[in-house]
Structure 1
Amino acid sequence: MGIQYDDFLDESYAPGDADLLCTFRLAPGEGMSLEAAAARVASESSNGTWAALDVESDISRLSAMAYDLERETNTVRVAYPPELFEPGSLPQILSCIAGNIMGMKAVDTIRLVDCEWPESVVSGFPGPGFGPAVKSEFLDATDRPALATVPKPKVGLPTSEHVRVAREAWLGGVDLLKDDENLTDQAFNPFRERVVDSFAARDEVQDETGERKDYLVNVTAETTEMLERVDFVHEQGGSFVMVDIITCGWSALQTVRERCEELGLAIHAHRAMHAAFDRLPHHGVSMRVLAQWARLAGVDHLHTGTAGFGKLENEDTAGINEWLRSDLYGMKEVLPTASGGLHPGVVPQVLDALGPELIVQAGGGIHGHPDGTRAGAMALRQSVEAWQEGVSLEEYAKSHPELRVAVEKWGSESPR
């Protein structure tokens, strides 16, 4: 039978419970109506083509269907039958719903805004191994945000200095040391040396403070090398690995997730490169959808922004975090991470906007403290305590000199 573009548009279509539903916002190409562009999106992302074909089998049941057009906003919904997808293959799904359609002449721009995932697709994925439970299973942060820091400058420190800064931050009250997304295995700070020395310092600090501490080790690399690094972190007594999930790729992330399941490790997901997909509001893939893919693949924490109180572009951080905590057929939740330009003076605003079920990460807002890293970590912890007690920072700072110095230096403004 011949399949034409019109076969991929039915505004009266009622999606089935098993369909994957994707919302796109698009600008039709020159001379193209919204209806025609919508039909081509559904066609190109499933089983259509530009030429009329003589196909003996009836494959219409495998066709995507554009069915809900909002003409004022150029928003289109497309339903995909689950048979189109290989179970558990995130790359294959993305090649469909975010593949060739991003470059078609039929659209000037197109943005994948949101997805509604059916159980038929979700069931093929493991989801997080731990999610928010890491705060109590691996750390002593059950009733508050977990606190993390990246030594600054974020790259360039030799191993000895990196470890010294880590020790000071842990002693000041930070729960987690974190590698920068750029720091992997460079000559100035080799991976294995850094991991061994950092965990040795961690163990000493745990004995001294009585609090559990850990390290988000960046294992990002070629996939085989990543697995070797995951194994090494486990051997050294770590409970977490960090992966730059977008730059290393979804297939690699899924492979790391399998290894972490075997070893009992949690995955901290850094989103470096996300803005290449989501910064332009009219094209690409939204951060909300990137976060959905990350949850399916099985990350435990994900950087989702600061609700505009840090140095990065404002985005729907609260909405993304809500989705990461939503019920998804029993799949575990993801613990959001707020990071990027945070310091003690803005922490209450972040917690007001996003709640305490977070990892709060500060870099310069700790290490730039006039009295050093330990005082900066103490000030960050004190800012959380003030928020928990419902006391203003100014009032709490009267009896907490580390916080007072931080507030005097940075106030309550976010950097750019």
Structure 2
Amino acid sequence: MGIEYDDFLDESYTPTSDDLVCTFRVAPGEGMSLEAAAARVASESSNGTWAALDVDSDISRLSAMAFDLSDDGLVKVAYPDALFEPGSLAQVLSCIAGNIMGMKAVDTIRLVDCEWPEQLTSSFPGPQFGSDVLTQFLDADGRPGLATVPKPKVGLPTEEHARIGYDAWVGGVDLLKDDENLTDQNFNPFERRVTESFEMRDRAQEETGERKDYLVNITAETDEMVRRAEYVADHGGSFVMVDIITAGWSSLQTVRRRTEDLGLAIHAHRAMHAAFDRLPEHGVSMRCLAQFARLAGVDHLHTGTVGLGKLENEDTVGINDWLTSDLYGMRDVLPVASGGLHPGIVDALLDATGPEVMVQAGGGIHGHPDGTRAGAEALRAATEAWVDGETLDERAERVPALRTALDKWGTESPR
């Protein structure tokens, strides 16, 4: 059987229900047509090569097929289910986002979207809790969950970190959160931080009558992440946090398997995502990264602030919609809005995202002129005002901490 690039292009192809269909945006290399480039993408990401082959076996059932090419460079490629190892994100991504990212046949290539078939999807566990964490572990029924990272995000000694957490909890936030680069440093060791923070958590719960918790960053080498997750569970925590991209998809899958036994939810930070998705013409979109995270089983995921925070704008609403959509019965993922948020822009954020989110503010709480507790009170008041259909100024007449926050930051986004 002869195999050439033309065998990987059929513009009349109709995908089967078991095909994984990926949409790429392709800019062909010099002297290359879009059709030729598309065929090479399908070839390289499945079972082709640069040289014409003559093989005895019929391996066409393992060949990807490029189809549905558009004038703006969008190309769909259908991958047969037999090409993939069930339940292995590493193997799937080595196909659809592997060598093709560096081929000379394309100047640039971006994985834009994926359409996941049921058979492949069901081989992954998905989230254990999803948005149910708002009521299963917290008292955030009918409103967004609220979280905060102590600031400065690294450098605080353990005692001060825990004290800031207490002030934020009693001020009205639901969750304390570690920063993505705070793990187990000498100035704030992991085990001591967990122990002291949960002591303050328990005190805040008793004073407020609300359930509070802590998103503990366990990011490390895989075996150490599992050990840290067990430590969190042993000390009364319900959540762990993983820097899912820097730690790696296989590590995340290992952690997800252990947290199933421990009854822990996974808060996913996306540090390093911009290395893949910031350039709009190349790499892997945040939409696809979010899809991988849902399959692997995270319960929360940072997805952006619809341009209202300090980070680059992206398709936050579209990503959130996908994370909360039906996917063959797989649990949803609770989107997290973070990065430069403060009480003065909460209403605009929630207008865009709706209430099924977690709102996380750092400087927008701890930078309040009257301190962390007042900053948390202002964020809680701004959120509840939106839920109640009240303007921020109206609520600020009854909540001095919100009035102070609005006077300081107004309704402008930071940079």
Question: What CA distance in whole angstroms lies between the structure 1 residues aligned with 2:205 and 2:377?
Answer: 16
Cα deviation, residue 291, structure 1:
0.2
Question: What CA distance in whole angstroms lies between the structure 1 residues aligned with 2:288 and 2:342?
Answer: 28
Question: What CA distance in whole angstroms lies between the structure 1 residues aligned with 2:74 and 2:302?
Answer: 27
The amino acid of 1:162's aligned partner reads: H
Question: What CA distance in whole angstroms lies between the structure 2 residues aligned with 1:348 and 1:390?
Answer: 10
What residue in structure 2 maps to residue 6 of structure 1?
6
Structure 1 runs (4+) greater than 3 angstroms displaced: none
Secondary structure of the corresponding residue to residue 53 of structure 2? coil
Cα deviation, residue 391, structure 1:
1.4
Secondary structure of the corresponding residue to residue 40 of structure 2? helix
Question: What CA distance in whole angstroms lies between the structure 2 residues aligned with 1:63 and 1:54?
Answer: 15
Cα deviation, residue 366, structure 1:
0.2
5 Å-filtered alignment, 1:170-189, equals: 170-189=169-188
Cα deviation, residue 222, structure 1:
0.3
What residue in structure 2 maps to residue 52 of structure 1?
52
Answering whether residue 223 of structure 2 is matched by residue 253 of structure 1, we say no
What residue in structure 2 maps to residue 80 of structure 1?
79
Cα deviation, residue 279, structure 1:
0.3
5 Å-filtered alignment, 1:199-238, equals: 199-238=198-237
Please list the CA deviations of residues 229-267 of structure 1 after superposition, one character each: whole Å capped at 9, or x if unmatched: 000000000000000000000000000000000110000
Please list the CA deviations of residues 106-133 of structure 1 after superposition, one character each: whole Å capped at 9, or x if unmatched: 0000000000000011010000000000
5 Å-filtered alignment, 1:271-282, equals: 271-282=270-281
What residue in structure 2 maps to residue 37 of structure 1?
37
Answering whether residue 289 of structure 2 is matched by residue 290 of structure 1, we say yes
Gaps of 5+ in 1: none
Question: What CA distance in whole angstroms lies between the structure 2 residues aligned with 1:80 and 1:132?
Answer: 31
What residue in structure 1 maps to residue 128 of structure 2?
129
Secondary structure of the corresponding residue to residue 322 of structure 2? helix
What residue in structure 1 maps to residue 335 of structure 2?
336
The amino acid of 1:30's aligned partner reads: E
5 Å-filtered alignment, 1:53-68, equals: 53-68=53-68
Please list the CA deviations of residues 332-370 of structure 1 after superposition, one character each: whole Å capped at 9, or x if unmatched: 000000000000000000000000111100000000000
Question: What CA distance in whole angstroms lies between the structure 1 residues aligned with 2:277 and 2:400?
Answer: 41
What residue in structure 2 maps to residue 194 of structure 1?
193
Question: What CA distance in whole angstroms lies between the structure 2 residues aligned with 1:120 and 1:211?
Answer: 41
Cα deviation, residue 53, structure 1:
1.8
The amino acid of 1:400's aligned partner reads: V
Cα deviation, residue 54, structure 1:
2.1
What residue in structure 1 maps to residue 105 of structure 2?
106
Question: What CA distance in whole angstroms lies between the structure 2 residues aligned with 1:110 and 1:385?
Answer: 43
Question: What CA distance in whole angstroms lies between the structure 2 residues aligned with 1:347 and 1:93?
Answer: 38
The amino acid of 1:105's aligned partner reads: K
Please list the CA deviations of residues 67-92 of structure 1 after superposition, one character each: whole Å capped at 9, or x if unmatched: 11002x11100000000000000000
What residue in structure 2 maps to residue 363 of structure 1?
362
User: Percent identity, aligned pairs only?
Assistant: 76
Question: What CA distance in whole angstroms lies between the structure 2 residues aligned with 1:54 and 1:111?
Answer: 31
Secondary structure of the corresponding residue to residue 267 of structure 1? strand
The amino acid of 2:84's aligned partner reads: F
The amino acid of 1:298's aligned partner reads: G
What residue in structure 1 maps to residue 168 of structure 2?
169
The amino acid of 2:319's aligned partner reads: I
Cα deviation, residue 50, structure 1:
1.0
Question: What CA distance in whole angstroms lies between the structure 2 residues aligned with 1:341 and 1:122?
Answer: 34
Question: What CA distance in whole angstroms lies between the structure 1 residues aligned with 2:52 and 2:108?
Answer: 26
The amino acid of 2:129's aligned partner reads: F
Secondary structure of the corresponding residue to residue 54 of structure 2? coil
Please list the CA deviations of residues 366-413 of structure 1 after superposition, one character each: whole Å capped at 9, or x if unmatched: 000000000000000000111112111112111110000000000001
Secondary structure of the corresponding residue to residue 345 of structure 1? helix
Secondary structure of the corresponding residue to residue 6 of structure 1? helix
The amino acid of 1:159's aligned partner reads: T
Secondary structure of the corresponding residue to residue 17 of structure 1? coil
User: TM-score, normalised on structure 2?
Assistant: 1.00
Question: What CA distance in whole angstroms lies between the structure 1 residues aligned with 2:392 and 2:237?
Answer: 34
Question: What CA distance in whole angstroms lies between the structure 2 residues aligned with 1:316 and 1:8?
Answer: 31
Please list the CA deviations of residues 290-335 of structure 1 after superposition, one character each: whole Å capped at 9, or x if unmatched: 0000000000000000001111111100000000011100000000
Secondary structure of the corresponding residue to residue 69 of structure 1? coil
Question: What CA distance in whole angstroms lies between the structure 2 residues aligned with 1:386 and 1:52?
Answer: 66
What residue in structure 1 maps to residue 325 of structure 2?
326
Question: What CA distance in whole angstroms lies between the structure 2 residues aligned with 1:54 and 1:36?
Answer: 20
Instruction: Give aligned pairs, total.
Output: 415
Question: What CA distance in whole angstroms lies between the structure 1 residues aligned with 2:157 and 2:309?
Answer: 28
The amino acid of 1:351's aligned partner reads: L
Question: What CA distance in whole angstroms lies between the structure 2 residues aligned with 1:380 and 1:268?
Answer: 21
Question: What CA distance in whole angstroms lies between the structure 2 residues aligned with 1:131 and 1:99?
Answer: 29
The amino acid of 2:208's aligned partner reads: T
Cα deviation, residue 52, structure 1:
1.7
Question: What CA distance in whole angstroms lies between the structure 2 residues aligned with 1:335 and 1:50?
Answer: 43
Question: What CA distance in whole angstroms lies between the structure 1 residues aligned with 2:187 and 2:400?
Answer: 35
What residue in structure 2 maps to residue 301 of structure 1?
300
Question: What CA distance in whole angstroms lies between the structure 1 residues aligned with 2:41 and 2:386?
Answer: 48
Please list the CA deviations of residues 180-227 of structure 1 after superposition, one character each: whole Å capped at 9, or x if unmatched: 001000000000000000001111111111100000000000001000
Question: What CA distance in whole angstroms lies between the structure 2 residues aligned with 1:139 and 1:242?
Answer: 16
Cα deviation, residue 2, structure 1:
1.5
The amino acid of 1:377's aligned partner reads: A
Question: What CA distance in whole angstroms lies between the structure 2 residues aligned with 1:315 and 1:206?
Answer: 36
What residue in structure 2 maps to residue 22 of structure 1?
22
